[in-house]
Amino acid sequence: MAKLQHPRLPGARDHFEEKGSFYFVMDYVEGEDLETIWKREVPNGFPEERVKKIACEVLEILEYLHSLNPPVVYRDLKPSNIMIRKQDKAVVLIDFGIARAVHSNATRKTAIGTEGYAPPEQYRGNPEPRSGLYALGATMHHLLTGVEPIPFHFDPVRTLRPDISAQMETVLPRALEMDPERRFSSAREMRETLEGKATSAPTVKAGKRKSSSARTGAPNMLPGILATRRH
């Protein structure tokens, strides 16, 4: 994997193998993860502007990872892996144990991630940069509503939080599309849409997602195919 150098990523100090397992030695990040903050402070949902700010910072990190050659796909984006650094309140991604570089000629990889946040293609062992946009969408939905995600099913955010803006109601379904081709084309496009800088807004109808789209393949794929890593 490429050497990561970004102010919002912990530095990798060393790596080693022991008893057939590989380990990374990463910089210690002092702060709290979003799952801890959510459980303590806002179990019914974060304010929208707070979630938007966090999401844009995460997307800046994803832009960097996806710009590397080859791109690095962070395959375990979820609230417990997003830290708010104590010294400057900046967002930091932690736990790169299952991140990997994705080569254009790569064959199928092992399915891994966290149930509810991982997109369909990751269950099939074929993660790509847009997989992170789905995981971020699932994370944002969780933080906004207080409802932990069920694989491939997300109720329209305004049915749970009527105060959420029309913009957020439009962004989340697009990030959570089952087909990567229907999501935002890049982390940059999603960030610019959240910031109101996109040249054109995505056209997605509000309302409950159809079961054929939201649940395709989920019942038979769940048992034994995904490594669940809840903290």
Which residues are known to be catalytic? 76
- Taking residue 115's Cβ as centre, other Cβ atoms within 10 Å add up to 18
- Taking residue 85's Cβ as centre, other Cβ atoms within 10 Å add up to 16
The Cα–Cα gap between 193 and 55 comes to 11
